[in-house]
Structure 1
C-alpha cells in the first residue's frame, strides 16, 4: 500500500506568483498531442453526419453528455 507524505497545505495565492507563472503555465498548457482531437472535422448536425456516414458506408461516433460543457457529468 502506498503511503503519502504528510505535508502542510500550501496557500494557493502564495504558490502562484509572477516568478513561477512561466513554469505553471508550461505545466498546464495542453501539449500538441493532447490537441489532436481539434484536427478532426467534427460534424455538428446529426442528420448531415448520418447522411455522410451512409454515403461513405461508415459508422457514426456520437459523443453525448449532459451538464456544464466544462465538465462531464
Structure 2
C-alpha cells in the first residue's frame, strides 16, 4: 500500500507526471478509450446537426459511452 504512494510522491518531487508510471499496455488501452470517446462525440455532433433533438442525441451519446467515461456527458461538460 505504501509503495505506490511513495512512487507517486517521488514522481511529484522529481517533476515526473504520474502517467509516466503507466505500462505500454495501459497507455494503449487509454488511447483506444480516447478514440472511442471521440467517435461517440463525433456521432453526437452529427446527430445534433441532423436535427434529431438534444434529448435523443444525448441518449445515444450515453449509450455509446457506457463504460468509457465518467458522467452523463461522456467526460465532456458544457456551459449550458
TM-score (norm 2): 0.31
Which structure is richer in relative contact order (CA contacts within 8 A, separation 6 or more)?
A: 2
- Structure 1 or 2: larger helix share? 2
